[in-house]
Amino acid sequence: MIRHTTRIVSALVVTAAMTGPCLAQIDPGVRGGPPGAGGPLTSRVAPLTTEELYLFTEGARRFNQLEAVCDICSDILLGADSGEDPRLATKTNSSGLGARFNGDQCTVCHSQPAAGGAGGFLVPNPQDPPNRFRPPENPMFSLIPHRKGGANRVPSFITQYGPIREARFVRKPDGSLDGGVHQLFTIVGRTDTQLTNCTQNLLPQPDFESELQADNVRFRIPTPLFGLGLVEAIQDREILARHEATAPLRARLGIQGIPNRSGNDGTITRCGWKAQNEPLTIFAVEAYNVEMGVTNDGFGQSTDETPECNGVNKNEFNDITRTDPDDSRNQSFYNPLHILPDWLEFAVFMRELAPPAPAALSPSAERGKSLFGRTDGDPGVGCALCHTPQMVTPRALETAALANRTADLYSDVLVHHMGRTLADGITQGAAAGDMFRTSPLWGIGQRRFFLHDGRSSDLVTAIQAHASERHAECEHDGSTCYPPSEANAVIERFNRLTTEDKQAIVDFLRSL
């Protein structure tokens, strides 16, 4: 029925059949204990300055704000502290939510295991008393689409306890390439619009079910933001030098990898599933507009300009440098914390967000770390040849807390061919339809969902999905032919390990 999904299932079945004993491995699931993330950078040598901590705290507040549709529709003063737990937010204190959106608060997509993480579960009825809270679930299933009276239908690929997903279409109706985000929800029915003529007829949700039947929908899940300031700070030459140092080992295993690069200045991009964004300011302005529909200094045009669904008591751009002569609207030009636009505060928050702290290694996890491999010693099964354990930031940076730091990111931040099993058919820069950035593994121990589309919540399954042979039938069925996955030899080595050693690698990953 859906050819892309059928290919995925078939490939996983074949892989499982080849591996046999791998089924004995058990992913223990999301690691318990404290989050170990969500706070500011710390350093004994050069901690964040007082001023930097002020900006980090303000950025965290903006990150947690709940968006209203129009400027005068917020429940409380714009930018004011609602006093609510951001995971239980009910009061809007920001404005600019677009006619089409995926989320109405940064935290709804970045909450696991703390603010700034990947997609997690939230209480779907925070407006009720605590003793009537329903169990936390995917916020896209009920909370976001129905907030403030929203009349949205929830697509079938959004499930109650499944991953948060954005949807991209491979092709447009005329058959030309698309690849862009198609927002799931609209403001129709919301009580904070003051747009009485904005109806479902004028602002329909995309027909996702028909597009699914046509095998035209691909998914992305939120990426964690922890430690991105360190990732941003790593110089291109460090990335390339680490890559070059492993060339002989990679050649034996068929691993290549290339940088994705900015079309403007040619520097290495490193944020997003296909490393399509860099620096963090671009990451912030694009997400604010694409995911929430908030226009800003970087993305000034609304994603949907239907007149009846825009423009009432809503300034364009929605989010810019504040120029009010006083702080009556909490947007004073003379208040150093308030002058910055939300998107810039988001970038500061991400830049100063500490990397996740790993857990203490058990004997099994210690064994798994050695099997995972190193780039300066025993390569083990070869995982570290893509998931580079460490890189170092430059000696001097304006934010001293980022300078001369070892980042244990477990990523080369390059893009690799992953084969047809994981291919989404969407090209972004140098990243072809089957290419993805090596996902940083720090913090993976507390993530719920894996791979770019969140298809798995099990680490063993996610590991096996890295393998993909060339499909001979692709020359006959008209589909795109992709090369074999660059990870095939590594997965073969993994499959030859004993049951105990495979479990050790899983235990190591859950410790990160």
The domain segmentation of the chain, as residue ranges, is: 3-30+235-269+359-511
Q: 167 in helix, strand or coil?
A: strand
Is pTM, for the whole model, over 0.85? yes
Query: What's the CATH fold of domain 3-30+235-269+359-511?
Result: Cytochrome Bc1 Complex; Chain D, domain 2 (1.10.760)
> In this structure, are strands 217-220 and 166-169 parallel, antiparallel, or unpaired?
antiparallel
Taking CB atoms within 8 Å and a gap of at least 24, the contacts of 251-255 are 252/489, 253/382, 253/385, 253/489, 253/490, 254/484, 254/486, 254/488, 254/489, 255/382, 255/385, 255/386, 255/416, 255/486, 255/487, 255/489, 255/490
Q: What is the DSSP string of 448-507?
A: S-BSTT--BS-HHHHHHTT-----TTHHHHSPPP-PPPTTHHHHHHHHHS-HHHHHHHHH
Position 269 scores a pLDDT of 97
Sequence-distant (6+) residues with CB within 8 A of 219 are 157, 163, 165, 166, 167, 168, 424, 452, 453, 454
Strands 100-101 and 185-186: antiparallel
Residues in the chain: 512
Give the per-residue pLDDT at 329.
87
Q: Is the dihedral of CA 304, 170, 457, 363 positive or negative?
A: negative
Alpha-carbon gap, residue 434 to 338, rounded angstroms: 43
Element (H, E) at 144: helix 143-146
CA–CA dist 442, 410 (Å, integer): 6
pLDDT of residue 477: 55
Chain centre distance of CA 414: 16
The rounded distance, in Å, linking the Cα atoms of 331 and 352 is 23
* Helix, strand or coil, per DSSP, at residue 145: helix
pLDDT by position in tens, the chain (length 512): 344 443 433 344 334 433 444 457 899 999 999 999 999 999 878 899 999 999 999 999 999 999 999 988 999 998 889 999 999 999 999 999 999 999 999 999 999 999 999 999 999 999 999 999 999 999 999 999 999 999 999 999 999 999 999 999 999 999 999 999 999 999 999 999 989 999 999 999 999 999 999 999 999 999 999 999 999 999 999 999 999 999 999 999 999 999 999 999 999 999 999 999 888 999 999 999 999 999 999 999 999 999 999 977 788 899 999 999 999 888 999 999 999 999 999 999 999 999 999 999 999 999 999 999 998 888 999 999 999 999 999 999 999 999 999 999 999 999 999 999 999 999 999 999 999 999 999 999 999 999 999 999 999 999 999 999 876 666 555 567 899 999 999 999 999 999 999 999 999 999 99
Confirm if 365 and 504 have CB atoms less than 8 A apart.
yes
| Backbone angles phi and psi of 350, in degrees to 5 | -65, -40
CA distance 193 to 99: 9
Q: How high is the pLDDT of residue 315?
A: 81
**Centroid of chain to Cα 252:** 32
In sign, the C-alpha dihedral spanning 46, 48, 49, 52 is positive
At 8 the pLDDT is 39
DSSP 116-140: TSB---B-S-TTS-GGGPPPPB-TT
The per-residue pLDDT for 32 is 93
